[in-house]
Amino acid sequence: MRKQADSPISALKETLSAALASSHFLYLTEPFKSDKSRRLNAHELAARLSYFLWSSMPDEKLFDLADSGRLLDTKVLGEQFKRMLADEKADRFADQFSMQWLDLEGVERVAINPQYYKDFDNRLKPDMVGETQAFFKAILRSNTSALQFLDADFTMLNATLAKHYGLSGPKSQFFERVSLKDTNRPGGLLGHASTHLAGSDGADSHPIKRAVWIREHLLHDPPNPPPPDIPSLEQSVPEFEKLSVREQLEIHREKAACAECHRSIDPWGIALERFDAIGLSREKTATQKKPVSSDTVLPGNHPIAGLADLQKYLLNERRDQFAHALVTKLLIYALGRDVELKDQPLIEELSKSFAQNDYRLPALMEDIVQNPPFLSR
């Protein structure tokens, strides 16, 4: 019996599947066989700049400048950076960088327990992420200090999220700037429900998750992962689940194998204990109905009493570290690779310039674009 020929539709599917699976489709490639660094040519630079700011291919203007070679001129490159950043397509950078920098996908990884939050609507999760992305966009577009990520007197809300927080705000689902003055809602990233929900187990807060998030994303100082041979305290301590989170953490610190690490981790998360899994203030835990306390002592013997004190500490004592962390995260995003030891002098230089420019993101981004690592491969 003769084998029936593949249908045109089947052949088209196979062709399309092969194209979509190709590395040339999935990745922005810059073919080069030598291990030595070289300057990008004009078309490679156009592509790198466009994918950095617009997450897409260059437009006709950028192609024309690449064709003529004029894009390699420092002044022209600066003009194009400003033009492209001002374009609404640069909102893609704001959305995608904030998603990557702050691991906003963590919101979707947590399932809210309906036993403790009966009225929670999962459709609120995208709004929580939206607040953080719109907040990043507002700071970028207003060309104001990035230190507002640590503390701010405003946030970005739509009608649904404003209602969730118990605030008066927009009447539509569009995100708008809302003042937090004379409210009990904290500003900055540590006041966002996206941060609190991702740093929870869906039923209650998870101070260690929140602590690791602060150290990794705001300070670029992630703690080491626990050794594989450390026994589970949940199995070794009788009635562990009946203890409060604070009592559980105290047991961690009593164990010799856990003490050193947890002394430098736990306090960062304990400072956020006044916020539950869905980002609302509370006096008692959701699961055990035990009183919560956010009083703690940060590494270096710095006593604090909750989020407001933590924000002041970060601004006053860890400002340089935060700036260094943000510069590093932005450089990683712009280059599409992790930073290396050879990049450290540039990171120090960029961090210094970032501070001198009042921590304004557009100036930092243009500095990155004009420096050799971005201009070469």
Domain spans, the chain: 37-86, 101-317, 319-375
The answer to whether the beta carbons of residues 304 and 310 sit under 8 Å apart is yes
Closest CA to 323 of 146, 187, 151: 146
| pLDDT value at residue 236 | 54
Give percent of the chain with pLDDT exceeding 90. 78
Q: Which two tokens stand for residue 340?
A: 């290396």
Q: Which amino acid is at 174?
A: F
Question: What stretches of the chain adopt beta strand conformation (E)?
Answer: 154-157, 176-179, 295-298, 302-305
φ, ψ of residue 155 to 5 degrees: the values are: -145, 180
The reported pLDDT for the residue numbered 215 is: 98
Counting residues of the chain whose pLDDT is more than 70, the rounded percentage is 85
Does the pLDDT value for residue 284 go beyond 60?
A: yes
Q: Residue 129: what pLDDT?
A: 98
Question: Minimal CA–CA distance to 203: which of 129, 118, 295?
Answer: 118
More confident residue, 123 or 14: 123
Query: Mean of the pLDDT values across residues 334-357?
Result: 97
**Residues contacting 208, CB < 8 A, separation 6+:** 249, 262, 265, 266, 269
Spatial CB neighbours of 251, under 8 Å, sequence gap ≥ 6: 233, 237, 240, 243
Instruction: List the single range of 60-64, 182-186, 214-218, 228-232 with lowest mean pLDDT.
Output: 228-232
Query: Which of 32-41, 81-90, 277-286 has the least mean pLDDT?
Result: 32-41
Indicate the average pLDDT of the chain. 90
| Span 201-236, pLDDT tens digits | 999 999 999 999 999 999 999 998 776 666 555 555
CB 295 within 8 A of CB 304: yes
